[in-house]
Amino acid sequence: MLSPILLRPALPVIVALVCFSRVAAAVDEPDATYKTHTTDIIPATEAPAAKLPASVARLSPEEARRELTEVRAAIARADALYHREAAPEIGDFEYDQLKQRAAELERAFPEIARSVPPVPEIGDDRSGLFQTVRHRERMLSLEKTYAEADVRAFEKRVAKQLGRDDLAYVVEPKFDGFAVSAVYEKGRLVRAVTRGNGAEGDDITANALALSNLPRTLRAMAADGTASVVPDAIEIRGEIFVPFAEFARVNAEREAAGEAPFANPRNLAAGTIRQLDPREVARRGLRVVFYAVGECVPLTALPATQHELPGRFRAWGLPAIAADQAWPARGGAELWGAIDALRRARPGFAFPTDGAVVKLDSLAQQRELGAGENAPHWAIAYKFAPDRAETQVRAITIQVGRTGVLTPVAELAPVELAGSTIARATLHNADDLARKDIRVGDFVYIEKAGEIIPAVVGIDLARRPAEAARFAFPEKCPACGAAVMRRAGEVAVRCSNEACPAQLRRRIEHFASAGCLAINGLGPATIDALVERGLVRNLPDIYRLRRAELLAVAKLGEKSADQLLASIETSKHAELWRFVNALGIPQVGAVAARDLARRCGSLEALIALGSNTAAANGKSDGVDRADPAMRAATAYFAEPANRARVAEFVALGMQPRVAAVRAADAEPGAKAAGKIFVLTGTLPSLTRAQATEKIEAAGGKVAASVSRATTFVVAGADPGAKLEQARKLNVPVLDEAALLELLGAD
Ligand code: IVH
């Protein structure tokens, strides 16, 4: 087997080498030291002990001691980074491999295992930043495995304990986020708590309240009019997560601002929920979904089965697993088919998952089986190994972004990965690249981080060409030759030249993009021609373009030129937030731009943020300058050059609209005010007329076709071309459950 090196700076090469050769091995024995980490693999005790791999049997005691010391140290480091700092360096898969390797070494060398320093027990996500609160009922994790045999052994054990082998199970997605327990008393949300050490966790209520879909109160009357008992007290367990679309948006904004992107949606969720500014939680699009119950008084408020639980949650107004995202199975024979069905459906999920959770369906039987120290005996998580491919780095190129950030990109020999052909992967930034030491000519392993973005996760060092040299990060901008620079505290290396043509091209692309002024017909070739020939030297120049120039210089046909000019004209009356977003104010993306536009109400008020020094010192104008977006806008408009630029736009006819944005928030409590929905396909329970009625009752509008103005497309079974159109235009897509959540959440 080839010898890949995983990209783990802190882990000695020897460990990565050995561990990586163990990709598909089954887990065999439980071990007390493992029972504290949330990604524990606690295999079925009745599974037959697997044979030790030759790579362990061959080791001398001295080698085993050295390796176990290194593996345990790597596990301890990973635990600390994961739980305490929410900034892991390695993925679950690599982590689980380390644990498996440690287990093998411990089994083969029990004497040595006792003398090597143990992994400190953490399994505790408390950060020290929040108040600690006790869970009423212990907050459990799950047993986890990558091996089918462990799932089968789990089912056999359950069947034996309950004395029958035709038991009903449910297979649910394993959401990849951050576990939370929401406590409702008399129907009111009183607290949201992290798992912590299982007994007590961090009180993150303030941050949880900023989640867009967490209701403050439980409804006693479901949307369809049926009554449901609201318990006196209930702990509802679920996961805070970031949908893929939000993950992509947040990372794009961070990269543009020169900040390190999040490695995957889980890190984004975990990193955000445990920081101290709830406004950041709102901006980063975090959501919650519920899937289990801790304490519930009275128990009769609950249904009899797990598969009915999501329906009950929804009746109370809580976001829950959609009906078509959980699979029933009876007995061991059907379990694997259900897991497979989930695996096939998974690429269509808008949220990150890393496996399937198998749960015994009857809540009474769940109670009968009970739980161990950290995990229930009635459930097991089967984790999907990430899709991985090997390919060669043909070149490392440098992209210059609109803010001048230089991003290294690996140009790869095209390779198939999880259904798409990958030819490029971001290498993030100079520091990351230097640390990983990826070289032109290297054979690398790529995975899709969070299922969407290909990332280089390993190098096959055995195949490194002799002549492969370390990559020398350029000291000059590859586009304009200006010196590069680094701002204090930033990972980004930037081109120092404001007039750099590569930056200008990107700024124009951004300005004209769908989330900004939506100027049609300003594609890359046209932009290139306009910049090269000096017709657009800055953004306001777009409004000085003449028909004759477009025909002669940009080589556009008459029709295209006219369409482009018409679109430029229309953009002068775009909504204010679009113009604010288009300006490219550092730290201000689309969400913050909407926020700013709503709060300030007019372009004049926005500009005044920078000039009104009396207000800037205090809060006399009612503006909260502690807010990061407000601060960023204030700093931006305090720059005379920026004010002059905006004045130039205004002189050229820019008159952004504000009415639509304000209307969206005018009616407090109207969940869908200002939002435009398009329905497609057959929804599981609502007819078109009912869905329309609900949307309109919540202040929204239903439109017939998808355009850039569409806020959401609601898709059911057999959706039509509207769904395609939504994807093309990046319009978020909701299913019925998500729609009801959005309309119903208090
Ligand atoms: S049930 C008592 N169901 O995975 C059982 N957990 O890595 C409580 N998770 O601790 C958990 N999706 O944070 C359950 N459908 C699902 C889940 C799920 C994700 C999380 C949960 C758990 C962790 C283990």
pLDDT of residue 465: 95
Residue type, 312: R
Ligand 1 pocket residue status of 130, Cβ below 6 Å:
no
pLDDT of 48 strictly over 50:
no
**Is the CB–ligand 1 distance for residue 320 below 6 Å?**
no
237 touches ligand 1 (CB under 6 Å): yes
Question: Is it the case that residue 567 has pLDDT exceeding 80?
Answer: yes
For CA atoms 715, 718, 722, 726, give the dihedral sign. positive
Percent of the chain with pLDDT over 90: 50
pTM for the model stands at: 0.65
Rounded to the nearest whole angstrom, what is the distance from the C-alpha of residue 346 to the centroid of ligand 1? 17
Q: Is 125 in the pocket of ligand 1 (CB under 6 A)?
A: no
pLDDT confidence bin for 744, thresholds 50/70/90: low
Kindly state the tokens that stand for 607. 């500009």
Tell me the DSSP string of 435-484: HHT--TT-EEEEEEETTTEEEEEEEEGGG--TT-------SB-TTT-PBE
Half-sphere exposure of 237 (CA within 13 A, CB side): 19
Confidence of residue 156 (pLDDT cuts 50, 70, 90): very high
Region 7-31: what's the mean pLDDT? 30
CB 356 near ligand 1, within 6 Å? no
CA nearest neighbour of 24 among 418, 460, 388:
388
C-alpha span between 487 and 76 (Å, rounded): 33
Active-site residue identified among 99, 144, 160, 174: 174
- 140 CB less than 6 Å from ligand 1? yes
Of 139, 141, 365, 384, the residue with max ligand 1 atoms within 8 A of its CB, to mutate for a pocket test, comes to: 141
- Residue 72: CB within 6 Å of ligand 1? no
Helix (H), strand (E) counts: the chain: 28, 23
Phi-psi group of 534: left, alpha or beta (phi > 0 → left; psi -120 to 50 → alpha; rest → beta): left
Task: Give the Cα separation of 179 and 184 in Å (integer).
Answer: 16
What's the 357 CA to ligand 1 centre distance in angstroms?
A: 7
Of residues 53 and 456, more confidence is placed in 456
Residue entry with tokens 């600390």: 80
- CA of residue 177 to ligand 1 center, whole Å: 10
The DSSP output letter for 486 is -
Read off φ and ψ for residue 182, nearest 5 degrees: -100, 125
Q: Which residue lies with its CA nearest to atom 13 of ligand 1? A: 179
The alpha carbon of 174 and the centre of ligand 1 are apart by a number of angstroms equal to: 6
Mutate which of 38, 40, 136, 142 for ligand 1? The one with the most ligand atoms within 8 Å of its CB, which is 142
Residue type, 274: R
Joined tokens for residue 184: 């409702």
Neighbours of 533 (CB within 10 A): 12
Residue 283 — very low, low, confident or very high, per pLDDT cuts 50/70/90? confident
CB of 239 sitting under 6 A from ligand 1 = yes
**From the CB of 20, is ligand 1 less than 6 Å away?**
no
pLDDT at 301: 94
**Is 376 a pocket residue for ligand 1 (Cβ < 6 Å)?**
yes
The ligand 1 atom at the shortest distance from the C-alpha of residue 292 is: 1
Q: What is the best residue among 37, 39, 357, 365 to mutate for testing ligand 1's pocket, by most ligand atoms within 8 Å of CB?
A: 357
Q: Would the CB of 38 count as within 6 Å of ligand 1? A: yes
* pLDDT for residue 179: 96
Q: Is 326 in the pocket of ligand 1 (CB under 6 A)?
A: no
Residue 658's pLDDT is: 80
Residue type present at position 289: V
Q: Could you tell which of 174, 178, 366, 367 is best to mutate to test the pocket of ligand 1, judged by most ligand atoms within 8 Å of the CB?
A: 174
Q: Which of 18-27, 116-125, 445-454, 611-620 has the lowest mean pLDDT?
A: 18-27
Task: For residue 376, give the ligand 1 atom closest to its CA.
Answer: 2
Q: What is the spatial distance between Cα 352 and Cα 337, in angstroms, rounded to a whole number?
A: 21
Residue 174 annotated among the catalytic residues of the structure: yes
Positive/negative CA dihedral, 548, 550, 552, 557: negative
Answer yes or no: are the C-beta atoms of 147 and 26 closer than 8 Å.
yes
* Residue of minimum CA distance from atom 17 in ligand 1: 174
- Residues 157, 360: Cα–Cα separation, whole Å: 12
Q: What is the pLDDT of residue 612?
A: 62
Helix (H/G/I), strand (E/B), else coil: 189: strand
Taking alpha carbons only, the member of 170, 220, 648, 539 closest to residue 366 is: 170
Residue 338 confidence (pLDDT): 97
Quote the ligand 1 centre to 141 CA distance (angstroms). Answer: 6
Q: What is the mean pLDDT of the chain?
A: 84
Most confident of 46-50, 456-460, 651-655, 717-721: 651-655
Q: Is the pLDDT of residue 667 over 70?
A: no
Residue 302 CA to ligand 1 center (angstroms) comes to 19
Is the CB of residue 443 below 6 angstroms from any atom belonging to ligand 1?
A: no
Residue 304, pLDDT score: 97
CA of 114 from ligand 1 middle (Å) equals: 32
Beta-carbon-side half-sphere exposure of residue 664 (alpha carbons within 13 Å): 15
Are the C-beta atoms of residues 424 and 483 closer than 8 Å to each other? Answer: no
